[in-house]
Amino acid sequence: QVQLVESGGGLVQAGGSLRLSCAASGRTFSRYVMGWFRQAPEKEREFVAAISWSGSSTYGADSVKGRFTISRDNAKNTVYLQMNSLKPEDTAVYYCAAKVGWLDEYDYWGQGTQVTVSS
């Protein structure tokens, strides 16, 4: 099992930046594909970005391409989401998640961190 704890959320003006972090417990962090999701009020949870076990491959939703970057540091058991050029529509609770296989469902989820972008 792996436990995930997000941090780095907050209030930022439109056009600003934030970097989210997700710290994972355990010694097998590099065995997991990591992802970021978000859920805005009264909306369904949506995929944001994913990164492969070594970090060599990443994938992002069209809505964040060119603005958000996912990365990971396996030595620190941490995955990051760098968010630039933030828009009010990026306001949501952001969750990190982990899974073993690239095509698997995500098995482990963090508790979420709130990101609010003011206009």
The mean per-residue pLDDT over the stretch 13-35 comes to 95
Per residue in 35-68, pLDDT tens? 999 999 999 999 999 999 999 999 999 999 999 9
User: Considering only CA atoms, which of 46, 33, 45, 44 is closest in space to residue 97?
Assistant: 33
Between CA 45 and CA 40 the distance in angstroms is: 7
The pLDDT assigned to 1 comes to: 84
DSSP label at 56? Answer: S
Between CA 90 and CA 9 the distance in angstroms is: 12
Between CA 61 and CA 49 the distance in angstroms is: 6
**Has residue 27 got a pLDDT over 80?**
no
The pLDDT assigned to 35 comes to: 98
